[in-house]
Structure 1
Amino acid sequence: MNTQKVDFRSIPDEGVTWTLLGTLYLRAWESRLPAPILGDRYAAEVMERIDYDFDKLGRRLRPSGNQFLVGLRGRQFDDWSAAFLARHPDAVVLHLGCGMDSRMLRLDPEHRLHWFDVDVPQVIELRRQLYQEQGNYRMIGASVTDDGWLDAVPGDRPVLVVAEGLLPYLSEPEVRGLLRRLTEHFRTGELIFDAMAPWIVRMVKVARWGPHDGAEVERWNLRLTCAEEVSFGEHYRRIPVRRYRALYRLMYAIPLMRNMARIFRFTF
Structure 2
Amino acid sequence: MSEERLDLTGVADDDVTWTLLGTLYLRAWESGSPQPILGDHHAAEAIRRIDYDFAKLHRRVRPEANQYLVALRATQFDDWAADFLRRHPDAVVLHLGCGLDSRALRLTPPSTVDWFDLDQPKVIELRRKLYPEREHYHLIGSSVTDPSWLTGVPADRPALVIAEGLLPYLGEAEVRQLLQRLVTHFGSGELHFDAGARWLAKLSPLGAWGLREAGEVERWHPRLRCREEVAFTARYAKIPSPAYRRLYQVMNAIPFCRNIFREYRFSF
Taking structure 1 as the reference length, what is the TM-score of the superposition?
0.96
Identity of counterpart residues, as a percentage? Answer: 60
Q: Distance in 2 between matches of 1:14 and 1:202?
A: 24
| Other-structure match for 2:152 | 152
Q: Residue type of the partner of 1:128?
A: R
Confirm or deny: 8 A CA contact 1:3 1:130 kept in the other structure.
Answer: no
Change (3 A) 1:15 1:253: farther
Confirm or deny: 8 A CA contact 2:85 2:109 kept in the other structure.
Answer: no
How far the C-alpha of 1:10 sits from its partner, in A, is 3.1
Q: Distance in 1 between matches of 2:62 and 2:207?
A: 21
Change (3 A) 1:119 1:111: farther
Confirm or deny: 8 A CA contact 2:38 2:72 kept in the other structure.
Answer: yes
| Other-structure match for 2:96 | 96
How far the C-alpha of 1:93 sits from its partner, in A, is 0.5
How far the C-alpha of 1:113 sits from its partner, in A, is 1.9
How far the C-alpha of 1:14 sits from its partner, in A, is 5.1
After the TM superposition, which residues 62-77 of structure 1 pair with which residues of structure 2 at under 5 Å, given as runs? 62-77=62-77
| SS of aligned partner of 2:13 | coil
Q: Residue type of the partner of 1:186?
A: F
**Paired positions, count:** 268
| Other-structure match for 2:4 | 4
Confirm or deny: 8 A CA contact 1:168 1:207 kept in the other structure.
Answer: no
Q: Residue type of the partner of 1:116?
A: F
How far the C-alpha of 1:109 sits from its partner, in A, is 6.2
Q: Residue type of the partner of 1:184?
A: T
Confirm or deny: 8 A CA contact 2:89 2:110 kept in the other structure.
Answer: no
| Other-structure match for 1:123 | 123
Q: Distance in 1 between matches of 2:51 and 2:113?
A: 31
| Other-structure match for 1:249 | 249
Q: Residue type of the partner of 1:49?
A: R
| Other-structure match for 1:210 | 210
Q: Distance in 2 between matches of 1:10 and 1:179?
A: 33
Taking structure 2 as the reference length, what is the TM-score of the superposition?
0.96
Confirm or deny: 8 A CA contact 1:217 1:224 kept in the other structure.
Answer: yes
Q: Residue type of the partner of 2:101?
A: D
Q: Let me know the Cα RMSD of the aligned residues.
A: 1.4
Does 1:132 find its partner at 2:132?
yes
| Other-structure match for 1:60 | 60
Q: Residue type of the partner of 1:145?
A: T
Q: Residue type of the partner of 2:219?
A: R
Unmatched tracts of structure 2, length 5 or more: none
Query: Any runs of at least 4 consecutive aligned residues in structure 1 with deviations exceeding 4 A, and if so which?
Result: 109-112
| Other-structure match for 1:187 | 187
Deviations 1:178-229 (A, max 9, x none): 1111011100000000000011112233460011111000011111000001
